[in-house]
Amino acid sequence: MGQRLFANELLQGILDAFEAALKTPLNLQGTYRGTLHWLPPTAIRSMVNGIWVELVENTDIKVVAFPKELQTTYRVRCVFVRLLDVSNNISAQRIVDGEKMVEAVFDNYLLSSVALTGGQVLWWLPRQVEWYPPEDEFVQALSADLTAIACNTEIEVRTNFR
C-alpha cells in the first residue's frame, strides 16, 4: 500500500516556500514547525523574526467515487512573529507583513517543490488573516517589542485510494 497522508511533507514544503519567498523581505531568522507555546521565552526572542507553522483543527478525508481516490484537506496555521521597529507605524507594518505572507502563499499555491508519491497538491490557499491573533498577546506578554500576525491556510491534496 502507498502513502495516503502527507502532513510532514506538506509542512516542510510550506516552511521551504516561506523561507525562499520571505527570508529577505521579512528579514527572517528562520521558519519553524509547531507552536510558540512550547518554547521557553528566551528561545522565542532568539528566533524572531520567524514564521511558525502547524496543523490545526482537523484534516478532512473524503473518498472520491470515480476514480477511486482520496481528497484530503489540511488546515495549517502560519504565525509570523517580528521584532517591532518603533521608527515604523506598527499598524501599517502589520498590514505589510500580512500581505507578504498571503502573497507568498498565492505565489506557491501548487507547492510545486513538494513531491508526493501517489499524490498531488491541488492547491494551497489562504483562508483568513488574523491581524491581532492570540499569539500577539502571548509574545507581547513575553516582551513588549514583539508582535504577531497569523494566516490560516488550507491545502487540498488528491491521493490514490489503493
| Number of neighbouring beta carbons within 10 Å of residue 117 | 10
CA distances from residue 133 to 78, 94, 129, 139, 140 in whole angstroms, order as listed: 11, 12, 9, 10, 11
pLDDT value for 153: 97
Cβ atoms within 10 Å of 155's Cβ, excluding its own: 26
Specify the amino acid at residue 40.
Answer: P
Domain membership flag for residue 77: yes
In a domain, 2, yes or no: no
Total tally of structural domains belonging to the chain: 1
> What is the pLDDT, as a whole number, of residue 28?
96
Q: Are 3 and 117 in contact (CB under 8 A)?
A: yes
Per-residue model confidence (pLDDT) at position 118:
82
pLDDT at 2: 62
Residue 39 lies in a domain: yes
pLDDT in 10s for each residue of the chain, 162 residues: 466 888 999 999 999 999 999 999 999 999 999 998 888 888 888 899 999 999 998 999 888 866 788 899 999 999 999 999 888 888 899 999 999 999 999 999 999 888 888 889 999 999 999 999 999 999 999 988 999 999 999 999 998 776
pLDDT in the model for residue 68: 81
All cell numbers assigned to 127: 483562508
**Nearest C-alpha neighbor of 93 from the set 81, 107, 104, 110:** 81
Domain hosting 37: range is 7-160
Q: Is 1 contained in some domain?
A: no
How far, CA to CA in Å, does 55 sit from each of 28, 60, 73, 96, 110? 21, 12, 11, 24, 18
Q: Residue 12 maps to which CATH number?
A: 3.30.2000.10
Question: Which amino acid, one-letter code, is at 64?
Answer: V
Q: What does the pLDDT read at residue 95?
A: 94
Strand partners, 32: 52
